[in-house]
Amino acid sequence: MLVGLACALATSLCYGIGSVLQAVAAADTAAVDHLDPRLLLRLMRAWRYVLGLALDGVGFVLSLVALRSLPLYVVQAVVASSLAVTAVVAALFLGTRLRTVERAALAGVVLGLALVSVSAAPESARAPGRGVEWLVLAAAVALALVAFPLGRLAGTRGAGVLGGVAGLAFGVVAVGARSLSSSTAPGHLVPPLWVLAKSPSSYALLVAAPLALATYATALQRGSVVQATAPLVVGETVLPALVGVVLLGDHARPGWGLAAVAGFTLAVGAALALSGFGEVSTAVSGAGTTPGQFG
């Protein structure tokens, strides 16, 4: 479990730093009026976005390791704390100051994660069953089908709705990753290719991952980072946690159920309170960088 917690925390660091870099790149890229997959191609020309995407990739691999020994709700609570990482990175590199409310939120994230961690029962990544994997794939396809008409929503409404779609897509990625981790032999990060090829979860990842990236990038262009990120955090944490408990057999240690719920709620709620700190990432948009701003 200690290895799993360390990997989950490292995942949070990767996602938190990566989100700052991606938000700056999205703000500096020409906006689109619909969900356009070519937006990702344009963003790939920005080194900040590429670096942020690389950090996401590292974080995803680390999350696979964490899911080998931790319940899904624990990993997703730690992932939500990436907003706390974003706040700290903003304070260190963009010269912003943490107000009392942000400091309290950071403390809430830490306390919530502590409760979640001590309440978690060790998991052995049980296989969810083929039926659950097909449901995950169906969810990914359904999100893709609704995302394109929703991609025409403008302004703050579009930012919130597309941020929510991105969060649900990231949630599908998390559940799919948990499914694949249960098929991975000890000592390996991913299952053999023949297992990946016949698993519906693999195809769910192929649909949900680029969909999440595209919808989140578009949401960042429609409104503020708060409007895009808050629904994303809810979608990528709450739904996978419920799926883990209801369908995957995740559970807390005996007698620690209330502590687990309280810790999860506190960690995610405090992370949402910090989502406003993402606004600083757009402060450098169109203005170039200075030595104190990511080099």
pLDDT in tens, 200-244: 989 999 999 999 989 988 887 887 766 777 788 888 888 888 888
pTM assigned to the model? 0.78
Q: What is the dihedral of CA 217, 220, 226, 227, to 10 degrees?
A: -100
Listed in sequence order, the residues at least 6 apart from 44 whose beta carbon sits closer than 8 Å to its beta carbon are 50, 53
Least confident of 7-16, 193-202, 261-270: 193-202
DSSP, collapsed to helix, strand or coil, labels residue 140 as helix
DSSP, collapsed to helix, strand or coil, labels residue 177 as helix
Least confident of 160-164, 174-178, 190-194, 279-283: 279-283
Specify the pLDDT at position 93. Answer: 65
The full set of domain ranges for the chain reads 2-281
- Mean residue pLDDT of the chain comes to 80
